[in-house]
Amino acid sequence: MPGWIESSCAMMLIHDIVDNDEQKNRGVRMRLRNKPWAKEKIAAYPQYVIPHPEEYKGRWNELFGNDHPIHIEIGTGKGKFITEMAKANPNINYIGIELYPSVLVSALDKLIANELPNLRLLNVNAKDLPNFFAEGEIERIYLNFSDPWPKKRHEKRRLTYRSFLELYEKVLVDEGEIHFKTDNQGFFEYSLVSFSQYGLVLTYVSLDLHNSDFEGNIMTEYEEKFSAKGNRIYRCEVKYPPKQRHS
């Protein structure tokens, strides 16, 4: 299926997918294994996991030592995706954001092993993004296999909910991008609607990524696991409309 299609067409195709309640309503991911030593290890590597990111607001390029564009991944997990992206794109600076220290420590291990100068990590909550990044400081945001929070009462926790889209807009450049992947059909449908209602422009969509013509896909740990089970992977790219400029 061609990737470049209009939003309305994408929504029509979504509803042609065979309904699967287990797929649509898959909830919280696997249980987190507590690693009581994780915080101590993270604190031991402040050059990789930045301890006071608010101090770099508006000047992250000083930390990286260049003016390359900055891409962030929210919910970076164990770090496979962002580590491989940083390896493949040395002229882009990457920041992986992960709330849970017991998960982030695995991403830290990968960064220690690879010593990538264009990758840093943050152990912070995504709802605080404007505290850490200035307006227009980020070029692209990746959302990979975010928790779908399937219960209606948890809607505001979804990373594609309107309030999060507002936060992203504050830190993204003009016409900044969000790249989104999930194996959860219901969450994907919800997100397409949320993006559209917010006014974002859909520039790419795949309803079966691994059987599409998309090139250069880097898989996350979750993606490898769910794809191996035969689950369909959904992916889209959206961008914000041009910001209004007042004379």
- What are 230-244's pLDDT values in tens digits? 899 999 999 999 987
pLDDT for 32 equals 61
* pLDDT over 50 at 23, yes or no: no
pLDDT digits (tens, 9 = 90+) for 120-178: 999 999 999 999 999 999 999 999 999 999 999 999 999 999 999 999 999 999 999 99
Task: Round to whole Å and give the CA distance between 148 and 102.
Answer: 20
Confidence bin at 21 (pLDDT 50/70/90): very low
Output the pLDDT for position 5: 44
Q: How far is CA 83 from the centre of its chain?
A: 13
pLDDT score recorded for residue 11: 52
Residue 13 or residue 172, greater confidence? 172
Residue 186 corresponds to which amino acid? G
Whole-model pTM above 0.85?
Answer: yes
Euclidean distance between CA atoms 177 and 241, whole angstroms: 10
Structural domains of the chain, ranges and CATH numbers in brackets: 35-237 (3.40.50.150)
Question: How many residues are listed for the chain in this entry?
Answer: 247
Q: For residues 158 and 135, give the distance between their C-alpha atoms in angstroms, rounded to a whole number.
A: 22
- The confidence band for 203, taking pLDDT boundaries of 50, 70 and 90, is very high
* The two structure tokens encoding residue 64: 């990286």
| 223 annotated as ligand-binding | yes
3-state secondary structure (DSSP) of residue 155: helix
Catalytic member of 147, 174, 208, 213 = 147
* Residue 183, marked binder: yes
Distance separating alpha carbons of residues 82 and 26, to the nearest angstrom: 24
Both tokens of 60, joined, read 């992250």
Is 160 part of any known ligand binding site?
no
Residue 73 marked in a binding site:
yes
CB atoms within 10 A of CB 45: 16
40 annotated as ligand-binding: no
Closest alpha carbon to 230 in 205, 208, 204, 206: 208
d(CA 231, CA 241): 32
**98 known ligand binder:** yes
- Average pLDDT value for residue range 95-109: 96
Q: Which helix (H) or strand (E) covers residue 185, if one does?
A: helix 185-198
Asked whether residue 22 carries a pLDDT value surpassing 50, the answer given is no
147: annotated active-site residue: yes
User: Does the annotation place 222 within a ligand binding site?
Assistant: yes
